[in-house]
Amino acid sequence: MLVFTLASVSLVLVIGIGLYYQSLPVLANSSWVHLLSSSIWKPMRGLFGFYPFIMGTLWVTGISIIIALPLCLLTSFYLSEYAHAKVKRVLIPFVNLLSGIPPVIFGVWGVLFIVPFIQTSIAPHFVDFSTGYSVLAGGIVLAVMIFPLLVSIVNQVLNTIPQELKDASLALGATRWETIKKVTIRKALPGIIAATVLSISRAFGETIAVLMVCGNNAVVPHSVFDTGYPLPALIANNYGDMMSIPLYGSALMFAALLLFIIILLFNLISRIILTRLERNLAG
Amino acid sequence: MTKRKLEELFIKILMILATIVVVGSFFLIVGTIFSKGIPYMSWDMISKIPGGGFYIGKEGGVLNAIIGSLYIAGGATILGLLISIPVALFINMYMASKNFIANTFRLAFDVLFGIPSIVYGAFGFLIMVYFGLKASLLGGIIAVTLLVIPILVRTLDEVIQTVPGELRDAALSLGATRWETAKVVLRQIRPGIFTAILLSFGRGIGDVASVLFTAGFSDNIPTSLHEPAATLPLAIFFQLSSPVEEVQGRAYASALILTIVVLIITVLSEILIKKFSKHKI
């Protein structure tokens, strides 16, 4: 048992070390700074600039959080402070069902619904032409994918706020929204931030759904209707070629390492905040 | 109405609208998949493997991918259980409950849970290269096992914590060893183990990024661990990128199959979780 436990816990380290070791060849060729800031992506000539992919990831993740955060906060407040127990019992299972849907289905939905919707209904108001395959499509699909995570964690956080605090505010004549605004949010802020960071890291690493709707063009996006090429999509799309071109495999492993490090840090921070909150409640 | 009452009303309407969007997105997705998938659905889809010319629209089905996915998700879940039951028991039975190390271990599994499947896929690929394995059923099972271990451990850990401490104390005070006590606890959490199995199976069957490098793809049903195996999500992905309309339609139908399977699994696990929390003391 001890062996299994230690082995699976050390997986965190082993993955990191393994990926780092495999990235060494490309790191020997050019520095971290150069890899991260160069925007020239010519694998055949050994030029690996990750800047466009990093920007693609940031655009898509940013859009998804901007869409998901307000919607999910409002939903969580509604479910935890307003909704009757019966309404809650009906609605929450659907949020859980949403979390069970596999990424590729979100991708299919994105291609069938979101992409045409952007092409025909949204984009014509702003730009001359868009195929719909864009960072906006990726952002919307990702937003829906992180709904369940965000709603369920924020809900848990809101449940840790002592009822007495809210009662005190309500008894003083504050409306429910005033209570949320001035009491609940203040108390729940660390938890809400942690939930957001956790969702960002989920969105960051999502691969297949984004790959299907983003257009995958190695250019830095300048508007929400531009195509983008997020890091995970880069890894997934090129696994076939990576053996035949020198350093290519190493560069892709470096991309995986980047994802791993960023997500590891985000997860550590948010999980530590969340466990603190839980412990405060228990103690 | 005063300004603050108006604000209250306004924000309440906003909240209800937001809730409709969040819950409605589920129906929108399932509705889209069903309406697009049903016209292309046929018995051949789930009972035949791809025939000659399948990828230019000729006859065949995705049985190879269905079986491949079942093999991989099933194999990974069994392998994952064999590893994570001891781990969950160890953290809970052999370490003090507020132990710093036990909590650090929990944190590690939380973090592992957040690592995206593409990273597991890349890492699984590294392992395969290291051991000289080709893309195969075995490779897919290894990568998906890594992916589901954190899910299994976290779920089992939560379930074990719901077992009342008195029960353990009673067993221990009767002279049972820790391992014998662990067996008592295991019997108590049987429905919880089923929940964990369902969650892990559901995640394993739907994931693409982890099997992309590791399982390969094949039109045949794998007969040994060393043969490449098709998976349903990958089949959807490949078929959808085809220019042939008939093949795209098959992607919709395959998506429908996967959605139905996953929905059944999720509903079952929801019911189990509810039942389980009802018996909780």
Residues of B in contact with A212 (CB under 8 A): 237, 240
Whether A254 has its CB under 8 Å from any CB of chain B: the answer is: no
Q: What is the pLDDT of residues B6-22, one digit of tens each?
A: 888 999 999 999 999 99
pLDDT class of B26 with cuts at 50, 70, 90: very high
pLDDT < 70 regions, chain A: 240-244, 281-283
Task: Tell me whether residue A59 is in a domain.
Answer: yes
Evaluate whether residue A41 is within a structural domain.
no
Q: Which own/partner pairs from B16-21 qualify as long-range (CB within 8 Å, at least 24 positions apart)?
A: B16/A78, B17/A74, B18/A70, B18/A71, B18/A72, B18/A74, B18/A75, B18/A78, B19/A74, B19/A75, B19/A78, B19/A79, B19/A83, B19/A91, B21/A71, B21/A75
pLDDT tens sequence across A265-282: 999 998 888 888 877 766
Say whether pLDDT at B54 is over 80: no
Q: Are B31 and B54 found together in one domain? A: no
* Subunit contact A2:B90, Cβ cutoff 8 A: yes
Specify the CATH number for the domain of residue A275: 1.10.3720.10
Residue range B89-120, pLDDT digits in tens: 888 888 776 678 888 888 889 889 989 999 99
Does any domain span residue A165? Answer: yes
B32 is in which domain, residue-wise? 3-40
Nearest by CB: B18 against A74, A99, A202: A74
Residue A57: which domain range? 51-241+263-282
Chain A residue whose CA is closest to B21: A71
A101 and chain B: CB distance < 8 Å anywhere? Answer: yes
Q: Do B108 and A12 touch (CB under 8 A)?
A: yes
Structure tokens at B80: 């994952």
Query: Which chain A residue lies closest to B2 (C-alpha atoms)?
Result: A175
Q: At B279, is the pLDDT very low, low, confident or very high (cuts 50, 70, 90)?
A: low
Min Cα distance A40 → chain B (Å) is: 23
Q: What is the CATH number of the domain that holds B84?
A: 1.10.3720.10
Residue A12 lies in a domain: no
Residues B25 and B116 in one domain: no
Question: Which among B5, B87, B118 has CB closest to A235?
Answer: B118
Between the alpha carbon of residue B161 and those of residues A79, A89, B51, B165, B179, the distances in Å are: 27, 24, 51, 8, 16
Q: What is d(CA A80, CA A137) in angstroms, rounded to the nearest whole number?
A: 30
Which pLDDT does position A59 carry in this prediction? 92
Do B85 and B36 share a structural domain? no
Are B170 and B203 in the same domain? yes
Per-residue pLDDT at B176 exceeds 50:
yes
Most A CBs within 10 Å: which of B111, B145, B185, B210, as the mutation test of the A interface?
Answer: B111
Whether B166 and B275 map to the same domain: the answer is yes
Torsional sign, CA B184, B190, B191, B195: positive
Searching chain B, which residue's CA lies closest to the CA of residue A263? B115
User: Which has more pLDDT, B26 or A43?
Assistant: B26
Model confidence band, residue B146 (pLDDT cutoffs 50, 70, 90): very high
How many separate domains does chain A show? 1
Whether residues A259 and B33 touch (CB distance < 8 A) is answered with no
| Same domain assignment for residues B121 and B100 | yes
Instruction: Tell me which long-range contacts A114-118 makes (C-beta under 8 A, separation of at least 24).
Output: A114/A140, A114/A141, A114/A213, A115/A213, A118/A225
Among the listed residues A229, A233, A182, the one whose alpha carbon sits nearest the alpha carbon of residue A208: A233
Shortest Cα distance, chain A CAs vs residue B148, angstroms: 11
Structural domain total, chain B: 2
The pLDDT of residue B277: 65
Residue of B nearest to A20 (CA): B123
By C-alpha distance, the chain B residue nearest A15 is B123
pLDDT top residue among A29 and B205: B205
The A residues from 39 to 78 touching B (CB cutoff 8 Å) are: 70-72, 74-75, 77-78
Whether A260 and B115 lie within 8 Å, measured CB to CB: yes
Report yes or no on A29 lying in a domain.
no
A-chain residues near B270 (CB < 8 A): 93, 96-97
Q: Cβ neighbours of residue A103 under 8 Å, at least 6 residues apart? A: A145, A206, A207, A208, A209, B206, B207, B208, B209, B233
- The answer to whether residues B26 and B89 belong to one domain is no
| B9 shares its domain with B140 | no
* The predicted structure's pLDDT at residue B281: 43
B135 and B22 fall within a common domain: no
Whether A40 maps to a domain, the answer reads: no
Tell me the pLDDT tens digit for each residue of B211-237: 888 887 877 788 888 888 888 998 898
Same domain, B94 and B13: no
B82 and B29 in one domain? no
Query: Do residues B190 and B234 share a domain?
Result: yes
